[in-house]
Chain A
Amino acid sequence: MSAADLLTAAPSREPTRHSTVTRVVIYGLLLFFALVYLVPLVVMVMTSLKPLDEVTGGNMFALPQKLTFDPWVQAWGEARIGVSDTAGIAGYFWNSIKMVVPAVLISTLLGALNGYVLTKWRFPGHKLVFGMMLFACFIPFQSVIIPMAVILGYLGEFGNTLTDLTGFSFGFGNATENLVIVHVVYGLGFTTLFFRNYYEAFPTELVKAAMIDGASFFQIFRRILLPNSAPIFIVTVIYQFTNIWNDFLFGSTFAAGDQSPMTVALNNLVNTSTGIVEYNVNMAAAIIAAAPTLLVYIVGGRYFVRGLMAGAVKG
């Protein structure tokens, strides 16, 4: 049983029978903490639905007196972000989508193949290879951003040369594509970890039998492993989606201005030093930035937690 299954399993043992007072205390504490975890989100939502004077003049815990969706409209299409001319966060939202979708798909597919090789086609030194890929998950990215910036700079120049020669850059130097590369590379460790641990438990006899029958490497993967991999695909996709969508360090380093992803735009919007602070618009933007990952969490919570637990390596 994996850690995540243990989590959702009911307590197997007979608990000590608590007195009524103890039970009241237990429930009281649990509800109190639930409130603590929920309050920031509730305040965010309520603030985003109030006119600005009600935010600055009123109590943040009070329900909106004059319910308004204007802040949402402004955040999405009108708010000025940093020094950019683009209005609203809509464009940045799409930047993030354009970055996240290919990065998640590529890193997950590569992770699946890597996991397959590392469990069913072992070679001398497979453990070292896996260990090296695994450690890559945990490095502080500060230790790679300078070389990465240099390399991406070269790629950009190469793109310019191509544009001069052919009139088309083939995507070299495009910030979104740069971020896809970066997220694929630094996501490989986790995706490989997930699939390796999953395929480790997959019966090797089935694979051996198919080999004897003459099935090729890819046939075995496609016909035997893939049909049985739906859960781990969901776990990996959710994990990668959440991580890449929520990234800030890479986004703020390798993309600028209109090409920034959502998190960077949100930070620029909230921490702008000019004009009055429109808290309600900021909160609406923050909720929009959080919406995709929250939605994924609500729909696929079980898988989300499984990914988290697997990411702590204990599996």
Chain B
Amino acid sequence: MKKILYTFLLLLSGNVHAALNIFACEPEWAALTQQLAGNQASIYTATGALQDPHQVQARPSLIAKARNAQLVVCTGAELEIGWMPVVLRESVNSAIQPGSLGNFEAAKYVSMLEVPTRLDRADGDVHAAGNPHIQTDARNFLPVAEALSKRLIQLDPANTAFYQQQLATFSQQWHTAIAKWEKQAAPLKGVSIVVQHKGFPYLNDWLGLKEVAELEPKPGMEPSAAYLGSVLSDLQQHPAKMVIRAAYQNGRPSEWIAERAHIPAVIVPFSVGGTPQATDLFTMFDDTIQRLLAGLK
């Protein structure tokens, strides 16, 4: 009888002291948290790399998972503004509300690009804090990892030594990897590209790519046939070497331009799992650079 009671109580108590329950908004943060927390964390990823993170619904499963989370790791900078506020409110979990220890916004720890000088919906889907797609520049993962590791230590001080070790290992491996990627990506410096959505300023800043045109007339607006036509004629004046898009985006606009401008349409994973090769953070950048270099040929 006692055994049954104890087992029952154990089941009810759930994760009393075991893994930290972590809710990651996007797969890149889930992957980073995995690197930093290892088996000390039970990580749930809210979106997949094939989903447009701007348009996600605050569905019941997200609310239930957020209810039990001790830490949410998201990009912030209003990327998740279409769904996370509802998820956080309905989860009635005071530990993860904005401003608390359990709410981690990666964008707070990097220098933001494309901060708008005016906020007007006539400019399309602009984010007040700047372009939120910070995960395309590998260097951004270093300050985010440092801050995330500190946060993990604050939430789970008993495992401080472990988290510090994980951070040290990750930083070292990441520095080496960045050096390798920058060397591999040397041929990409100064290369002109067309982008389907303005999701690549951090990638351009890191690898020296030059964005000469966007397929969306304004951020978030679907490219119309007329607009694509005008982009095509612009490309004749200012040619580009390739047109790139994130794995979750519809290929039609890119392929239309690619066919008529005789340039390759390149898909980059954009997040972990976006392509079959991008299985973790390291392979995500390996694959991104391989695909960009292949587009050059």
Q: Do A and B bind each other?
A: no
Point out residues on A near B: beta carbons under 8 Å: none
